[in-house]
Chains A and B, each alone.
Chain A
Amino acid sequence: MRRPVILVVAAALALSACSSAGPSSTSPATSPATPGSAAAQGALTVFAASSLKEAFTAIGKAFEAANPGVSVTFNFGPSSTLATQIGAGAPADVFASASGKTMDTVAAAGLAPSRSNFATNSLEIATPPASSVAISSLADLAKPGVKVAVCQQAVPCGAGAQTLFTKNSVQIKPVTEEVDVKSVLAKVELGEVDAGIVYVTDVQAAGAKVVGVVIPADHNVTNKYPIAAIKGSANAATAQAFVAFVLSPAGQAALASAGFAAP
């Protein structure tokens, strides 16, 4: 699943090199450098939500290809944990989280003066292939004996799951609240649970390892993903360049092919 993304990114790069289309940004304060700018170099540390793993890894490679001299290191994890770490002084240059709420934590500490929403994600039910339990809708998860895994409440996908259940008036008692969305996915892949609430992008990334059950858009919950350059970063220019890259057509194409919706 990743190679097509890289191809798309490379194609988009080629396209964007010829165009001067700007990123769709909600905040006017950013001054993005175009790809290939001499200002982008050095080492960059990006803290990103677990659900961004596949898409951002591809984006990182493309960014390095476009900016020789830059090396991007990722720290993927639950958005809330990352926010806490940044608040405690972890050396992040960029933070991309799965919810505005977790970004608020960082902003409250004055560390994210400006942010941009770069993607949207919605939830999906993941089930193990060859499962003996038939799941076709959210209501099936409420049946007795069905084991459901969700993310812990502090994490965007966990809070999202709670909202999902409330919105659809289903009484579901999960058997576990995992640390992050990838852990939920792992439990589904191993067949330890009958269903897990994960993101659409996670189902896509897992490929044949899980079977997705789509939740209709009007019943679903969506998360907006904000990204911000962290204040006090050692490499502010490169950080800004990365943010711009994510918001650029190249970045957006990569996110789209991973399953994310437009911000």
Chain B
Amino acid sequence: MNKRGRSRSTPPWPVAIPAIIALAFLVLPVLGLLIRAPWGRLIELLTSRTSLDALRLSLVTALSATVISIAIGLPLAWLLARAEFPGRRFARALVTVPLVLPPVVGGIALLLAFGRRGMVGQYLDSCCGITLPFSTPGVVVAETFVAMPFLIITVEGALRGLDTRLEDAAATLGASKWAVFRRVTLPLIGPSLIAGGVLTFARALGEFGATITFAGNLPGVTQTLPLAVYMGLEGDPDQAIALSLVLLLVSIAVLVGLRDRWLRTGVAS
């Protein structure tokens, strides 16, 4: 047996043992969820009024948050990557704040800005009778706040890594700035845009602290999946576990879908 060949295939013990512990640490809770789940009653639990409300609400709000994140996040990402303007670095740092802010703090901040007596919220209330807290749009606002930075950062990275020389070539072929964006830039950052969108959706779906603080908790209106799980823990743990399985499934789907594309920038294929 070739000693050199063996040492390359067998991992050394000082590395393997901690690695196995790390793996077990991450896998056991998930296994616990899967093994202790009430598989027999799953359908019944998931089709209860509370569950269906929470599922529908979560899907609608997370999708809305993702769409809004793309609609206003993509232009911001483009500006951050391409345009020169005073305070650009500051703006880029600000964009990452919701990523590190504890979600509950985010919720409080949203209240202070958009609550009924908030900085902006009070004008929304007095002029147009719009109050965001305790409403489904409020949930979308909370989810967008925590999830949009994912999209912006992913897309900005992709735009930076993009070869602008291709866009130059497109210009010489007669394409207007908008046509260049639509037919060259966008297809080339497509994979990153999708990855960013998926991450954003997953983050929005899982948001708890900001939602419950800003939007409150009302079944059918603001009680998203994570809130229903938390509330369910006291009254009906089985239902909470069943809903947790749904969230777990979504998380796994996201991982499988993205595979190793996490924050890949630049050209695909």
Contact = CB atoms under 8 A, between A and B. Distances in A.
A190 B111 contact: yes
A175 interface: yes
A105 B235 CA distance: 11
B201 interface: no
Interface in B59-74: none
B244 interface: no
Interface stretch (B153-161, B167-175, B181-189, B214-222): B214-222
Contacts of B218: 174-177
Contacts of A190: 111, 115, 117
A238 interface: no
B116 A191 contact: yes
Interface in A171-207: 174-179, 187, 190-193
A237 interface: no
Interface in A138-156: 147, 149, 152-155
Main secondary structure of the interface of A (DSSP, over half): loop
A178 B214 CA distance: 11
A32 B19 CA distance: 52
Interface string B229-240: 011011101000
Interface in A70-85: 78, 80-81, 83-84
B37 to A, nearest CB: 17
B212 interface: yes
B134 A176 contact: yes
Nearest to A152: B231
Contacts of A177: 216-219, 231
Q: Which of B115, B218, B233 has the most CB of A within 10 A?
A: B218
B115 A178 contact: no
Q: Which of B115, B216, B219, B230 has the most CB of A within 10 A?
A: B216
B133 interface: yes
Contacts of A78: 234
B212 A84 contact: no
A152 B216 contact: no
Nearest to B216: A176
Nearest to A79: B234
Contacts of A147: 131, 134
Contacts of B117: 190-192
Given A176-B222, A190-B111, A149 B216 contact: yes
Interface in B113-166: 115-117, 131, 133-134
Interface in A203-219: none
A175 B215 CA distance: 9
Contacts of B133: 175, 192
B115 A154 contact: no
Contacts of B222: 176
Contacts of A178: 216-217
A159 B233 CA distance: 16
Interface in B213-264: 216-219, 221-222, 230-231, 233-235, 237
B216 A153 contact: no
Interface string B27-61: 00000000000000000000000000000000000
Contact of B217 (A80, A179, A192): A179
Closest 4 A-B residue pairs measured CB to CB?
A176-B216, A175-B134, A80-B234, A154-B234
Given A147-B134, A154-B231, A175-B134, 11 more contacts: A78-B234, A84-B233, A84-B234, A84-B237, A152-B217, A153-B235, A154-B235, A155-B234, A176-B222, A177-B216, A192-B116
